[in-house]
Each structure stands twice: as structure tokens, then as C-alpha cells.
Amino acid sequence: MRTYDNPVIAGFHPDPSVCRVGEDYYLVCSSFEYVPGVPLFRSRDLVHWRQIGNVLDRPGQLELPDDAVASGGIYAPTIRYHDGRFYMITTNVSGQGNFLVTSDRPEGPWSDPVRIDLPGVDPDLAWDEDGSCWCAVSGVRLARIDPATGKVLEGPLPVWSGTGLQHPEAPHLYRVGDWWYLMLAEGGTAHGHGVSIARARSPRGPYEPAPANPILSHRGTDLPIQCTGHADLVQAPDGTWWMLLLGTRPRGFFPSFHVLGRETFLAPVEWADGWPRVGPVRERHPAPAAWHPVELPPELDDFDAEHLAPYWLSPRSRPEGSWSLSERPGQLTLHATGDSLDRPGHTFVGRRQQHSDCRIEACLEPGTGRAGLSVRLDEAHHYDLEVAGGEVSVIARIAPLRQRLARQSLAPGPVTLVVEVRTSSPVPPTATVPGEEAPGIRPGGPDTIAFRVADGEPLAELDGRYLSTQVAGGFTGRVIGMYVTEGSASFDWFAYTPSGS
């Protein structure tokens, strides 16, 4: 029997929403303070996904000021297809509120935003038989809207807000047979997370909760996948039903730490007595009938293309003058826009860490200032491998503390910077350099992050727990990338190589 492995989209890809058009599936995720916003994926089998772009890919669609906090920005998009057109609705909690964009093609271009004057987050869209468009938001409240103008035509109406647990959110409304189903997440997006559902004969209700709620939750279990929730349903062409949802893969000693963020998982759904049944979500499941592997992005980006690949991210903005692929053809040239990674406004181009064990390399041609590689969770939690003044050093920023841990002189010319993340041989939970010990402390971090030049000995090996949600807070995961905080520098290539699960 053919099987698939979870997660189906690894790394910081939370709050998945999915729709099917013919034999193609399209999926979007939250992007928070990063631009471009709302990554967009395509699949033919729900298992193999390839990013085909970003829905919010120009400044007129998404504005994130420098004072937008980490884990602010874009929350919980929903993607739907209706009457020959794609719709994506989401919330910018850092300014725009709820808005939607549309397109005739998933690849875009997507329209300018249409603002929806509704309070709440996690908006959803559904259409009834007479063509009325319904928008549900966290709470849970339901309104009839005009998607062309954003005008609220009816409501918002309080409908069903779950079983009484905290944070009823992520509502999705579906018409299945003669019933309208309202599915939501509740219990918070941490270990108490779960999925519950209710049904009614009309979108307005009244809603009858499922007798087996929550229909999915891993709370209180020792399953390797935790925090399961924020789900969306989709029916395959063969009539089977599937759920896309977020979850985490925590590691290490209590309370355990997840460093990749909340990832996208897939689970089969069965219907019994008029209700969906799902779970638990396993690391491996029987695969859907369709099977269409896709060509994944190359491990090496040599920056020979005319445009940056869609998986490259920058926090809050990426001004045109801060980067160039044409200034030095075949290289990514970065210009400093801020003097520190500890504050917003800096120049950074990175990609999500998607594997628990991986190796990241980049060839840097030092310029006139400071540049390097950074493993980033937010401005107050990052590890940097920095080149400046003819030497390379490792810098750890953990909350209010900032420390330079090691230095090494460099010869003139290009330098290959290396970051290795491994889950084996954890180090004590302190910043260490080779040969140093931290006696009396349990080595219980989720992973170790090592920094080196080319194939030389590690300059430092740091405990990864300090770049985790459990330490830093927030809703994102690690992003690893290139930066400049003084002058300019060019990167000839960047390689991301998985080395484990």
C-alpha cells in the first residue's frame, strides 16, 4: 500500500486553507510579518506540494510598518474558488484588518485589496444557492457581504462558538448535502488545540454541535505530532474527504520545544451518521488515490534567475534599493537599510527551516561593512555568523542579552559560511564553544546549531531551544538567511541541504 509522510508541507507553514479546482488543489498559509505575503501552493494529490507564488506580492496589497511586532501581520488566510474566480481573504492585524483579493488565475496577478468592515480575525468565505456570500470570523460571527465592495449586507450574526474552550477561531463554513457545517478551532493554538464542528439547515443556524466534539485533538497524548487544529476540509475527485491542518513536532526535555513552527499536515476523513471523523494524525497514512510527485526547488540557488524564487522571505518589507540580482549578474547583492538585526528595518533575505537536521551554506563576497548568515525567530532571538573587518564571528541574541562568542581571522576574498542544525548530540542549554562545558545542566534542547567557515572546526555550537516558540513566544518558526547591516555585500550562491527527518 502506498503511504505518505507528514507533514506534507514542512516548516513554518501554519493555518492551511485549501480548495480544489478540477484535479488541482491550491493551498495558502499564514505569513505573519514576512513579505511576500500568503505563500501559495499547488498539488495534484494533496501530498506533493510546490510553491507557485505568493498572493500578496507587491506593496500595494500588503503594508507592514517597521513598528509591526513580530508575529503580527497576516493571519489565517482562506482560499476559495467560486464562479470562475479565486478568492483569498485574510487579516492584517498590523493595519489593514480583514480584506480579500481575487484573481482569474492562481498564479496571479491578484487584485488590490477590498477591505471588509468586520471585527475579528481568521475570515472565511462561502456561497449559498442564491449566490449570497457569507463571511465568518473568529468569535464566531457570520455576515453576508458583497465581495466586490466589501460592504456588509447582513450581520454580523452570533452563531456557534464551539464547546466552551478558549479562542474559538478559524471558522470554515461548508455545504455538504442538505446541511451547512461550521468547523472551527478552539482550545488555543498550543497543546490544547482541537477541531470541533456543528451543523444547521441554513447558514444562519441554529447550529447543532457534533456529539463527538472535538472531532480532532491530540491534547493530553504522547503522540509525536502536537497542537493539531486550525483545519480545512476538501473533497477529492474520487469522493474521498481530507483534512489539512496545522501541527507541531516538539523535541527535547520538558516542556519540549518546536523550532520549525507550526507545519501543514494531512489526514483522511470519514463520514458517519452525518458527521466527519478524523484522527489521530499520524506521521504516516495511506495515500490518496491520486499520486503526482512534483519537482521540488533545487537545494542550490545560484541567483542566475531574473527574479527571486517565491520561497525567499524578508521581515516587513524588501525595498527595491536593498537588493539586486542585476547589479552583479549571477549574485544576490544586498545593501544595508538598518544597522542591526536587533531592530526592524534591516536587510534580510531568508527561507524557512523545513527539516530538523539540515546544512545551510552561502558563498559571501564581503563588501564594505557587515554581512553574514542569521538563524532568525525574531529581532530578540537570533544567532548570526557575521563577517566584518577581516574576521568572522558568532553572535547570539537571546532576549535582552547579546554576546559575541567566537572570532576567527579571514583571508581576503570570498568565504563560505556554514550553519549546521542537528538533533543528535545535544549540547547543554548555554552558548558554548568547543571544549567548554556547562556541568550540572541537562542537555535537553531540541537541537544544536553549529557555525563554521567552509569545512573548518566549529566556531561555536549553540543550544537551539532559545530559537523556539516556547522561549521567544509568537506564532512563527525559524527562518535562515543572508543579511547586511552595514555597507553592501554579494552572495554568489545559497544552499539548503536536508540531512535528516
Closest CA to 240 of 276, 294, 274: 276
Closest CA to 267 of 222, 221, 311, 218: 218
* C-alpha to C-alpha distance for 133 and 156, rounded to whole angstroms: 13
**Cα–Cα distance list, 307 to 111, 304, 324 (Å):** 21, 9, 9
Q: First vs last Cα of the chain: how many Å apart?
A: 22
* Active-site position among 15, 45, 301, 384: 15
Instruction: Report long-range pairs for 94-97 (Cβ below 8 Å, ≥24 apart).
Output: 94/33, 94/64, 94/65, 94/68, 94/69, 95/63, 95/64, 95/65, 95/68, 96/62, 96/63
What are the strands, taking DSSP E only, across 93-140? 97-103, 114-115, 124-127, 133-137
C-beta separation of 62 from 12 below 8 A? no
| DSSP string computed for 477-497 | --EEEEEEEESEEEEEEEEEE
* Active-site position among 45, 122, 124, 169: 169
> CA geometry: angle at 226 spanning 224 and 229, to 5°?
140
C-beta separation of 302 from 287 below 8 A? no
* C-alpha to C-alpha distance for 265 and 246, rounded to whole angstroms: 6
- The position carrying cell 534591516 is 346
Q: Is 15 a catalytic residue?
A: yes
Q: Is 169 a catalytic residue?
A: yes
Which positions are annotated as active-site residues?
A: 15, 169
